[in-house]
Chains A and B, each alone.
Chain A
């Protein structure tokens, strides 16, 4: 206990350094805790969403084609042996009629439910008013979120727009929160027959089933044998898996960034404890001389580390809770899942704290072993030279970080692991960062010499002294510079990833959308509604291309598809053809029996040029589509790039009722006035028209929200690096008190002394920027190359490099403030007495 108390008093004697280390541990643990808490919140959100969406159902049978399941198909499903309960549901997007003159409100989702069967499978709590009772009464329930955003209440009259004409209903009840479709929120729940009348649907879009226990296989077989229409089966597990897959990329990246922040935090810990041992070598030696065993000397260090680790981890858990709450909105926005974060998620907090303490203690093992090796004789010398400690430390750093990497893999989100590519990318990123860290001390001297030249022009002596000082302790430089390099590298890499994603999305839209304005509809608009002709008649409009998105049933899976007019794409010069003859292929689409595949889909489906793609159109009915071209990119579908087919096939064989988008090309000479005219015309059809730039802007905004979360986490790493710089510079000042005293004695002014420390920090910063930039590009290349999230790189990430440069120069300069003041305040007389 005496040794422990001595260790704790040693920490208390260096309050600033101890505080910085605790803050470093806290930030590392905080980011890890936040990442785990957000992961847990996402998992909970997925479970909640699945439970809300599916309720007690064991199986969901959804329509594959646009018109939905027919009444006959519903009958077949309901009568399947093994089905205990069945609830047919309609789910469609539409608009509510607005007050004339006021702007059109956002779309709503109509959920048509049978008041008799729905409650047996789904809970539908009512916050105010009453529930539904009859399947055909003209009443509605609305969600609280819709009521709040659009100002509706009990008794309000709604006019639901649909092919069956506007249908008036009265609001009789309010459903709490976002209601039964949490990802949508703006939901109007109608009795099913009322919904059928409003939306002109005879059946339903899906049927939820409660099955007899153990009958699932038999039900599936029976459905396969008896269903005449194409359908899609989904179980709650499938839904959860699909939602987890959509959140996995985000969770994976968040976990990677958290591992990196922990990595940087560990630098600070190793550095601090090593400094403490170096500084306390004499005391350790004296303890040994007084009879302390090697074990006690090690305990002296480990005990201090444990205190730092526990304090930092506790603070980190609290910081993580705050960080998680702050980032929750960004996470919800990035994943589309309503993540509700509890500030203290016990499991996440426990894991993060345990990892924090473990990493701290692990980081302390090397300094502890070194402490044990200090001989009393060595310690009693006037000046203890411990270069062998520095050399040995570098190897240990490598080992510690390999173990940290292993721990990170163990803590890797389970939903991400099966993807494989993400884990590989994470490992590759980790190795690149480790390599950069271990190489940085060897590159420090030559780079400092080279990059210090401009500084030397203005502050020659300060630059010379500072340059020598930064390279004095190689392993300390590795840790200090390494953490800065890693932090800045993550800023650059994430910036590059964001830029590549944005550029890729922009290039994609430019390459595939044949228009300057994109008009979207939430319902299919049939060719005979005359919208194309009306829009084409607007002066200045060159071309109007209808686009209909839908799904193809190919080999039992759903493939995103889009119906297009080949001639329009040919005339507009869209699509980059990789294989096939462009003009012939686009003409073939309009003739029918042909498909154009994006290269990603061609690879995924194993299809090549001139292969036949046999898609299901009904029970034992198929349509053969010849692959006439493979293009670099295609129109975006629901989940990926769409297979392109011509309108004749889409309308006649694939059940596509109409277009849900129109691309309008405008003559360049009259772009702006024509745009206005197009928007006005679109508004008369209750359609929304957006310039393609706005669509790009929306994409950029969505990406910015996702990467904003990662940037915030990476910024924490840079902050930890800055703390490391404060620590190292302060230690440097303390170690060089006598030198500083001499410099002051021979005429160096306080300002020059301060400048020397700031220049030292600046040299570190400049070298950090160069190495961090280079490492960031390497990491970015790994993320772009292996992550497979972004199809195509872009130019160098100058904005991210610029941001890293600013951070790398400003933060070290700020970090140098305190140590430089400390150096300037050195009393010459005391310094010269200093031992």
Chain B
């Protein structure tokens, strides 16, 4: 389906793009055509709950370009978390295709999907989901420990230090999760997701359990990774303030993408224009 509206709010940093179900390649500002890093083509997802069938996604088509920060917004039960899970290979669509870096991941075997998650994606969840018995350092290094990552142990240690700096948790490397604030715990989760330099970071309501200050610190860390490391981020959120960090906002309603709001890359993360636009479309 086609998005109903596309509104460029800050053309200075934004890289406008079109989303076409037949051709999801992206037109860069210089006119060159870039292949998106993730694409969804007419994706549906149906859950069977006893005798009842619930359709969480009803034919979603979208694309995310490398280095882009995309937010998925929508009311509860609209299907945004389901879409995120499909994009990251956590689950399989009922129909349609999810293409990750040019490869169809819709029907990957469990082991291949595991490998994709291990090597190419990073996840952050609303609940911080740290392993309580491991230290901050060990939690962050867990994807390396699980195996399959290239490089030496020294490279891994260097990278762990690097992401600890990125999320500003220096000095807390040996702390256990229960010795950290909630905001710090979530930043550990972000560091763990980023440590393997994934192609895409997928974050599901990462600020949902955080207060205003901690939310801000976390979103700053995400934005820095996007800005400084070129990290692609797909963020599911209810919060307009969080979505305002994104270059582009896809609004999902009733299992479909109902709107696309292009914000562009902005340093001030002001939520006001987005809130106004969301009000316009009744969200």
Q: How far is the CA of A265 from the CA of B193 in the complex (A)?
A: 45
Residue from the set B129, B134, B192 with the largest chain A CB neighbour count within 10 Å: B129
Looking at A391-399, A435-443, A529-537, A741-749, the stretch in contact with chain B turns out to be: A741-749
B111 and A749 contacting across the interface, CB-CB below 8 Å:
yes
Query: Is B161 an interface residue when CB atoms closer than 8 A count as contact?
Result: no
Interface residues of A in 705-721 (CB under 8 A from B): none
Of the candidates A468, A472, A745, A829, the one whose C-beta lies within 8 Å of that of B134 is: A468
Chain A residues near B127 (CB, 8 Å)? 738, 832
B133 and A746 contacting across the interface, CB-CB below 8 Å:
no
A747 and B114 contacting across the interface, CB-CB below 8 Å:
yes
Chain A residues near B146 (CB, 8 Å)? 461, 743, 746-748, 752
B90 and A828 contacting across the interface, CB-CB below 8 Å:
yes
B91 and A828 contacting across the interface, CB-CB below 8 Å:
yes
Query: Is B108 an interface residue when CB atoms closer than 8 A count as contact?
Result: no
Residue in chain B with minimal CB distance to A461: B145
Query: Is B100 an interface residue when CB atoms closer than 8 A count as contact?
Result: no
Chain A residues near B204 (CB, 8 Å)? 832
A748 and B114 contacting across the interface, CB-CB below 8 Å:
yes
Instruction: Tally A residues with Cβ within 8 Å of B.
Output: 23
Query: Is B20 an interface residue when CB atoms closer than 8 A count as contact?
Result: no
**Contact string against B for A residues 795-835, beta-carbon threshold 8 Å, 1 for contact and 0 otherwise:** 00000000000000000000000000000000011001000
A742 and B119 contacting across the interface, CB-CB below 8 Å:
no
B90 and A738 contacting across the interface, CB-CB below 8 Å:
no
**Contact string against B for A residues 740-780, beta-carbon threshold 8 Å, 1 for contact and 0 otherwise:** 01111111111010000000000000000000000000000
Q: How far is the CA of A828 from the CA of B134 in the complex (A)?
A: 21
B143 and A747 contacting across the interface, CB-CB below 8 Å:
yes
Interface residues of B in 122-147 (CB under 8 A from A): 122-123, 125, 127, 129, 131, 133-134, 138, 142-143, 145-147
Chain A residues near B107 (CB, 8 Å)? none
Q: How far is the CA of A832 from the CA of B84 in the complex (A)?
A: 13
Q: How far is the CA of A752 from the CA of B143 in the complex (A)?
A: 12
B109 smallest CB distance to A (angstroms): 11
Query: Is B197 an interface residue when CB atoms closer than 8 A count as contact?
Result: no
Interface residues of B in 224-283 (CB under 8 A from A): none
Q: How far is the CA of A750 from the CA of B110 in the complex (A)?
A: 8
Query: Is A335 an interface residue when CB atoms closer than 8 A count as contact?
Result: no
A472 and B133 contacting across the interface, CB-CB below 8 Å:
yes
Q: How far is the CA of A11 from the CA of B207 in the complex (A)?
A: 38
Chain A residues near B90 (CB, 8 Å)? 745, 828-829, 832
A749 and B114 contacting across the interface, CB-CB below 8 Å:
yes
Chain A residues near B193 (CB, 8 Å)? 746
Query: Is A56 an interface residue when CB atoms closer than 8 A count as contact?
Result: no
Chain A residues near B119 (CB, 8 Å)? 747
B117 and A747 contacting across the interface, CB-CB below 8 Å:
yes
Query: Is A464 an interface residue when CB atoms closer than 8 A count as contact?
Result: yes
A400 smallest CB distance to B (angstroms): 29
Chain A residues near B125 (CB, 8 Å)? 742, 745, 832
B259 smallest CB distance to A (angstroms): 26
A385 smallest CB distance to B (angstroms): 9
Q: How far is the CA of A208 from the CA of B114 in the complex (A)?
A: 87
Of the candidates A742, A752, A829, the one whose C-beta lies within 8 Å of that of B91 is: A829
Chain B residues near A461 (CB, 8 Å)? 142, 145-147
Q: How far is the CA of A448 from the CA of B194 in the complex (A)?
A: 32
Q: How far is the CA of A750 from the CA of B147 in the complex (A)?
A: 13
Query: Is B148 an interface residue when CB atoms closer than 8 A count as contact?
Result: yes
Q: How far is the CA of A745 from the CA of B85 in the complex (A)?
A: 10
* Given A828-B90, A829-B90: A742 touches B129 (CB 8 Å cut-off): yes
Query: Is B118 an interface residue when CB atoms closer than 8 A count as contact?
Result: yes
Q: How far is the CA of A748 from the CA of B111 in the complex (A)?
A: 9
Q: How far is the CA of A828 from the CA of B118 in the complex (A)?
A: 14
* Given A461-B142, A743-B146: A832 touches B129 (CB 8 Å cut-off): yes
A257 smallest CB distance to B (angstroms): 37
B192 and A739 contacting across the interface, CB-CB below 8 Å:
no
Q: How far is the CA of A749 from the CA of B118 in the complex (A)?
A: 9
B74 smallest CB distance to A (angstroms): 17
Instruction: Tally B residues with Cβ within 8 Å of A.
Output: 29
* Given A747-B117, A749-B114, A829-B85: A460 touches B145 (CB 8 Å cut-off): yes
Residue from the set A460, A747, A832 with the largest chain B CB neighbour count within 10 Å: A747
A820 smallest CB distance to B (angstroms): 16
B143 and A469 contacting across the interface, CB-CB below 8 Å:
no
Chain A residues near B122 (CB, 8 Å)? 746
Query: Is B159 an interface residue when CB atoms closer than 8 A count as contact?
Result: no
A20 smallest CB distance to B (angstroms): 26
A739 and B148 contacting across the interface, CB-CB below 8 Å:
no
**Contact string against B for A residues 442-484, beta-carbon threshold 8 Å, 1 for contact and 0 otherwise:** 0000000000000000001100110011001000000000000
Chain A residues near B143 (CB, 8 Å)? 746-747
Of the candidates B88, B131, B148, the one whose C-beta lies within 8 Å of that of A465 is: B131
Chain A residues near B133 (CB, 8 Å)? 465, 468-469, 472
Q: How far is the CA of A592 from the CA of B192 in the complex (A)?
A: 94
Of the candidates B110, B123, B131, B138, the one whose C-beta lies within 8 Å of that of A745 is: B123
Residue in chain A with minimal CB distance to B202: A745
Q: How far is the CA of A832 from the CA of B129 in the complex (A)?
A: 9
Residue in chain A with minimal CB distance to B120: A747
Interface residues of B in 13-72 (CB under 8 A from A): none
Residue in chain A with minimal CB distance to B114: A749
B76 smallest CB distance to A (angstroms): 13
A747 and B110 contacting across the interface, CB-CB below 8 Å:
no
Query: Is B115 an interface residue when CB atoms closer than 8 A count as contact?
Result: yes
A754 smallest CB distance to B (angstroms): 13
Q: How far is the CA of A746 from the CA of B143 in the complex (A)?
A: 6
* Given A464-B134, A739-B131, A828-B90: A747 touches B118 (CB 8 Å cut-off): yes
A620 smallest CB distance to B (angstroms): 85
A756 smallest CB distance to B (angstroms): 10
A746 and B123 contacting across the interface, CB-CB below 8 Å:
yes
Q: How far is the CA of A290 from the CA of B175 in the complex (A)?
A: 39
Residue from the set A460, A461, A743, A752 with the largest chain B CB neighbour count within 10 Å: A461
Chain B residues near A829 (CB, 8 Å)? 85, 90-91
Residue in chain B with minimal CB distance to A824: B110
A746 and B91 contacting across the interface, CB-CB below 8 Å:
no
B129 smallest CB distance to A (angstroms): 4
B39 smallest CB distance to A (angstroms): 21
Interface residues of B in 67-120 (CB under 8 A from A): 85, 88, 90-91, 110-111, 114-115, 117-119
Chain B residues near A752 (CB, 8 Å)? 146-147
A81 smallest CB distance to B (angstroms): 88
A735 smallest CB distance to B (angstroms): 11
Residue from the set A469, A741, A746, A750 with the largest chain B CB neighbour count within 10 Å: A746
Chain A residues near B131 (CB, 8 Å)? 465, 468, 739, 742-743
A752 smallest CB distance to B (angstroms): 7
Chain B residues near A464 (CB, 8 Å)? 134, 138, 145
Q: How far is the CA of A283 from the CA of B253 in the complex (A)?
A: 34
Q: How far is the CA of A465 from the CA of B110 in the complex (A)?
A: 22
Residue in chain A with minimal CB distance to B117: A747
B191 smallest CB distance to A (angstroms): 12
Chain B residues near A746 (CB, 8 Å)? 117-118, 122-123, 142-143, 146, 192-193
Residue in chain A with minimal CB distance to B126: A832
Q: How far is the CA of A680 from the CA of B148 in the complex (A)?
A: 76
Q: How far is the CA of A744 from the CA of B123 in the complex (A)?
A: 11
Q: How far is the CA of A285 from the CA of B141 in the complex (A)?
A: 38
Q: List 18 A-B contacts (CB under 8 A).
A: A461-B146, A465-B131, A465-B133, A465-B134, A742-B125, A742-B129, A743-B131, A745-B125, A746-B142, A746-B193, A747-B118, A747-B119, A747-B148, A749-B111, A750-B111, A829-B85, A832-B127, A832-B129
In the complex, given contacts A744-B114, A747-B115, A748-B118, what are 19 additional A-B residue pairs having Cβ atoms less than 8 angstroms apart?
A: A460-B145, A461-B142, A469-B133, A738-B127, A741-B129, A742-B125, A743-B131, A743-B142, A745-B88, A745-B125, A746-B142, A746-B192, A747-B114, A747-B143, A747-B146, A747-B148, A750-B110, A828-B85, A832-B127
Counting from the closest, the 10 A-B pairs by CB-CB distance are A747-B118, A468-B133, A461-B145, A742-B129, A749-B114, A745-B123, A747-B117, A828-B90, A748-B146, A829-B91
